[in-house]
């Protein structure tokens, strides 16, 4: 070994020392052992295989379930000057052949690909010819039917061990129960792997559940007590936009993030948040890749997550710098039943899956026995409106087809823009003379594209932006102005998903192999949701202890800081004092619960609990205008 892992770490990541189990994991891999690494979110999993791969000769093969995750890691490696290749959807046979040749002869250090790609005969043949240094299975919980994101195609990963039996394999995950961990070892055929489990305990994060009828007020109050960066997770794109706008009305500097944004907008919003130009990010679960901000002080879930795994992973983005942080789950009386209904309504069944697959092929006009490796841009809402389908159920079914290797589904927003100039040239040139700044953009448009007066022409807004040195937003405004003034027909179509068909169209014969897994997946998802609801209903056990127990770990002591611990300790000690202060304050005039929280120097949970007790005891009454008064 010519170089040491610490040298690689310092050179490419700028760190002097490893943390947690990283050094032990890397040493085991360099000694030729298989490894199962169970590490929490933010624990530095990628370093565990990237560092030894850079130490050893040869190429590291990395399996990952998400195209976005693959692209993010490959881009990061390239920025560090490391040669890395990704094999994702939409690659022509010639390009695939060339990329695989590069892996064999081009001195590349990393090959990232999805498990579906392993089924391609050419990929299997070329991997066998490669000088492989290491096999890394990221998000390894996907291999288990008991995992929260089971992908049957992940079972194909064991093929790599067959092709290179003497090469060490590392499986990594941040969300594995004991049952899932055992499943990983069996299905990857690494029964003697050394297991390293870093504690999932995050002592600096206070986990709490807040019950609020007015959640918007609760969010504003939580932000008032948060000085640094915050993430608020919501269920839908619409919720992200609306909540961000409401917060900005109250002068909370926020922006929103979801899968339907253009890549340009995603980068701009993420950059503004990372640089603290925006303090609050309101986001769907699409907000995950590239979120490496150490000083997030609060992660707030505005809606009920679908599983403890998802919740713990997202909440774990708080406090990565080791400073005190909060993970708040906010619920009201209607949330539980609404979550159950929305979740159950969206679960796909076999007949719906078959029908959707047929309609998907019809929508893209794919003939029988064709379509394999074809990539299409896709607008979910347009598709659902066209066929009268439930959007939630449709998206869940598309995800199911993605998990089972029938299609590849990627959230990648893209605009398609076309323009047709319908005025006489004299009229257009007169308009250009009357609009100096916009006129310059139209002149560049005319110089860049031919045939604009003859037919509808596809144009590149990004290219026009670079040529004119104007923002893409202003280019759009200019072209819309042209249309409004009757000089052009301008169309801008938004696509929010990219679908790649991984199998030829055979209708029911394509879907039938998937059918047995559907019921199992639905049962597992229901159980995961119930575990999440049980966590919300917890009133006697410390939140941190409940979460650790779920992942098979035992906390020695209650955290003493979550809502359950505070309520058990503080209210018992101070209950009478709180009640007396409430009565004293209300004798001066009726007060709302918000008034009392502002006026009385006690914990909010204690005030609300005391109000409930005083109402039940008949000491207070609640007026029609929601104010409390002496009875």
355-406 pLDDT, tens digit each: 999 999 999 999 998 888 788 888 888 899 999 998 888 988 998 898 888 8
> Within its chain, how far is the Cα of 355 from the centroid?
28
What's residue 608's pLDDT? 82
Tell me if 90 sits within 8 A of 375, measured CB to CB.
yes
Strand partners, 421: 488
pLDDT greater than 60 at residue 218: yes
Nearest residue to 67 (alpha-carbon basis) of 498, 560, 400, 427: 498
Check whether 568 has a pLDDT greater than 80: no
Q: pLDDT at position 600, please? A: 85
Give the domain 205-332 fold: Rossmann fold (3.40.50)
Q: CB 585: neighbour CB atoms within 10 A?
A: 15
Distance CA 87, CA 76 (A): 16
pLDDT digits (tens, 9 = 90+) for 255-294: 999 877 877 788 888 889 989 999 999 999 888 765 778 8
Evaluate if residue 138 carries a pLDDT over 70.
yes
pLDDT value, residue 135: 96
pLDDT higher than threshold 70 for residue 524: yes
Region 566-583 average pLDDT? 72
CA separation for the pair 208, 41 (Å, rounded): 18
What is residue 593's predicted lDDT score, i.e. its pLDDT?
A: 86
CA distance readout (Å), 565 to 151, 283, 344, 534, 572: 38, 29, 33, 17, 11
For CATH 1.10.10.10, the residue range(s) in the chain are: 563-630
- The chain-wide mean pLDDT, for the chain, equals 87
pLDDT of residue 402: 86
DSSP state for residue 327 in the 8-state scheme? E
Look at residue 527 and tell me whether its pLDDT is greater than 60.
yes
The strand pairing partners of 409, in sequence order, are 499
Q: Which two tokens stand for residue 598?
A: 């502002």
Considering the domain 5-197 in this protein, what is its CATH number? 3.40.50.300
d(CA 552, CA 176): 9
Q: Find the angle CA(424)-CA(428)-CA(429) to the nearest 5 degrees.
A: 115
| 563-630 is a CATH 1.10.10.10 domain | yes
Would you state the pLDDT for residue 572?
Answer: 53
Bridge partners (DSSP) of residue 329 are 209, 301
Tell how strand 169-173 and strand 280-283 pair up. Answer: unpaired
| Residue 66 in tokens | 């998400």
User: What is the value of pTM for the model shown?
Assistant: 0.73
Q: Where in the chain is the domain with CATH 3.40.50.300?
A: 5-197, 205-332
pLDDT band at 59 (very low <50, low <70, confident <90, very high): very high
pLDDT for residue 167 is more than 90: yes
* pLDDT value at 1 more than 60: no
Q: How do residues 404-441 score in pLDDT, each as one tens digit?
A: 888 888 776 666 788 999 988 888 999 998 988 899 99
């Amino acid at each position: 070994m010519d170089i040491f892992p610490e040298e690689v770490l310092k050179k490419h990541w700028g760190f002097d020392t490893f943390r947690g189990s990283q050094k032990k994991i890397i040493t085991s891999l360099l000694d030729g052992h298989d490894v199962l690494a169970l590490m929490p979110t933010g624990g530095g999993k990628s370093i565990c295989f990237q560092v030894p791969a850079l130490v050893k000769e040869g190429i590291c093969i990395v399996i990952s379930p998400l195209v976005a995750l693959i692209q993010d890691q490959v881009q990061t490696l390239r920025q560090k000057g490391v040669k890395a290749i990704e094999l994702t959807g939409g690659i022509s046979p010639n390009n695939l052949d060339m990329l695989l040749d590069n892996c064999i002869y081009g001195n590349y250090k990393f090959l990232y690909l999805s498990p579906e790609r392993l089924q391609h005969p050419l990929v299997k043949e070329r991997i066998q010819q490669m000088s492989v240094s290491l096999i890394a299975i990221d998000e390894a919980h996907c291999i288990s039917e008991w995992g929260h994101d089971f992908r049957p195609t992940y079972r194909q990963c064991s093929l790599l061990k067959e092709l290179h039996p003497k090469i060490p394999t590392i499986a990594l995950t941040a969300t594995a129960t004991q049952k899932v961990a055992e499943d990983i070892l069996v299905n990857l055929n690494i029964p003697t792997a050394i297991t390293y489990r870093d504690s999932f305990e995050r002592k600096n994060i206070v986990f709490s559940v807040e019950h609020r009828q007015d959640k918007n007020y609760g969010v504003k109050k939580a932000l008032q007590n948060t000085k640094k960066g915050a993430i608020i997770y919501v269920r839908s794109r619409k919720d992200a936009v609306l909540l961000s706008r409401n917060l900005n009305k109250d002068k909370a500097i926020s922006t929103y993030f979801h899968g339907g944004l253009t890549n340009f907008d995603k980068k701009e919003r993420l950059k503004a948040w990372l640089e603290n130009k925006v303090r609050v990010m309101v986001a769907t679960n699409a907000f995950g890749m590239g979120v490496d901000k150490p000083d997030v002080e609060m992660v707030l879930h505005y809606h009920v997550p679908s599983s403890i795994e998802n919740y713990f992973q997202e909440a774990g983005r708080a406090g990565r710098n080791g400073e005190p942080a909060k993970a708040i789950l906010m619920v009201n009386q209607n949330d539980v039943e609404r979550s159950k209904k929305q979740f159950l309504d969206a679960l796909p069944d076999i007949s719906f899956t078959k029908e959707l697959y047929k309609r998907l092929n019809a929508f893209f006009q794919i003939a029988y026995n064709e379509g394999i490796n074809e990539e299409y841009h896709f607008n979910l809402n347009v598709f659902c409106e066209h066929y009268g389908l439930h959007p939630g159920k449709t998206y869940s079914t598309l995800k199911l087809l993605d998990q089972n290797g029938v299609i590849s589904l990627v959230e990648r927003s893209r605009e398609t823009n076309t323009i047709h100039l319908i005025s006489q040239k004299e009229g257009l040139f007169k308009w250009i003379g009357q609009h100096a700044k916009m006129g310059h953009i139209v002149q560049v448009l005319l110089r860049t594209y031919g045939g604009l007066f003859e037919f509808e022409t596809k144009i590149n807004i990004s290219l026009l932006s670079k040529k004119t040195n104007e923002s893409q937003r202003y280019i759009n405004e200019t072209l819309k102005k042209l249309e409004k003034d009757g000089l052009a027909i301008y169309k801008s179509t938004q696509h929010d998903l990219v679908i790649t068909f991984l199998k030829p169209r055979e209708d029911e014969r394509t879907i039938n192999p998937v059918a047995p897994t559907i019921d199992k997946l639905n049962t597992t998802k229901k159980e995961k949701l119930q575990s999440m609801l049980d966590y919300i209903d917890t009133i006697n056990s410390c939140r941190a202890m409940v979460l650790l127990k779920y992942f098979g770990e035992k906390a020695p002591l209650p955290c003493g800081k979550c809502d359950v611990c505070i309520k058990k300790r503080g209210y018992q000690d101070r209950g009478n004092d709180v009640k007396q202060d409430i009565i004293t304050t209300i004798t001066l005039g009726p007060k709302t619960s918000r008034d009392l929280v502002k006026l009385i120097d006690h914990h909010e949970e204690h005030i609300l609990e005391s109000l409930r007790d005083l109402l039940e005891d008949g000491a207070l009454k609640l007026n029609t205008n929601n104010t409390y008064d002496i009875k």
